[in-house]
Amino acid sequence: EVQLLESGGGLVQPGGSLRLSCAASGFTFSSYAMNWVRQAPGKGLEWVSAISGSDGITHYADSVKGRFTISRDNSKKTLYLEMNSLRAEDTAVYYCVKDRSAWYFEYYFESWGQGTLVTFSS
């Protein structure tokens, strides 16, 4: 069974930084592209970033390009999202999401973690 467990969310100030982690199990982690998808409170879903399984190719939404960095450690079966220069509009639940297809970006979001909340302090 695929399991994805996010951590690292919390309270931040505008301009601050945070690193999210996602521990994966139940599948061959290095074979699959992984994604971050976020959801602002009471709002819809927004794809944020993706990383390929083993060759380090990354993609970003325009809204986070240059501020967020996605990475992975296949030996630890862990996905990361380094978030810098955070803005109030980055407030959201961030979901770690496994792509369905091995070896390429399909962007079909087959399996989701429970999410971790990033909020701003005033």
DSSP state of 26: S
Tell me the closest approach of the beta carbon of residue 59 to other proteins, in angstroms. 7
Query: Using the rule CB under 8 A, is 106 a contact of other proteins?
Result: yes
What is the rounded distance in angstroms from the CA atom of residue 120 to the CA atom of residue 97?
23
Helix, strand counts (H, E) of the chain = 0, 11
Backbone angles phi, psi at 107, to 5 degrees: 65, 25
Query: Using the rule CB under 8 A, is 114 a contact of other proteins?
Result: yes
Query: Using the rule CB under 8 A, is 112 a contact of other proteins?
Result: yes
Determine the interface stretch with other proteins among 16-24, 71-79, 82-90, 100-108 (rule: CB under 8 A): 100-108
Site for other proteins in 33-72 (CB under 8 A): 44-47, 59, 61
What is the rounded distance in angstroms from the CA atom of residue 25 to the CA atom of residue 73?
13
Among 31, 89, 100, 102, binds other proteins (CB under 8 A): 100
Query: Using the rule CB under 8 A, is 109 a contact of other proteins?
Result: yes
Judged by beta carbon, residue 12 or residue 45, the one nearer other proteins is 45
What is the rounded distance in angstroms from the CA atom of residue 103 to the CA atom of residue 96?
18
Run of H or E residues at 116? strand 116-120
* Positions in the binding site for other proteins (CB under 8 A): 44-47, 59, 61, 95, 100, 105-115
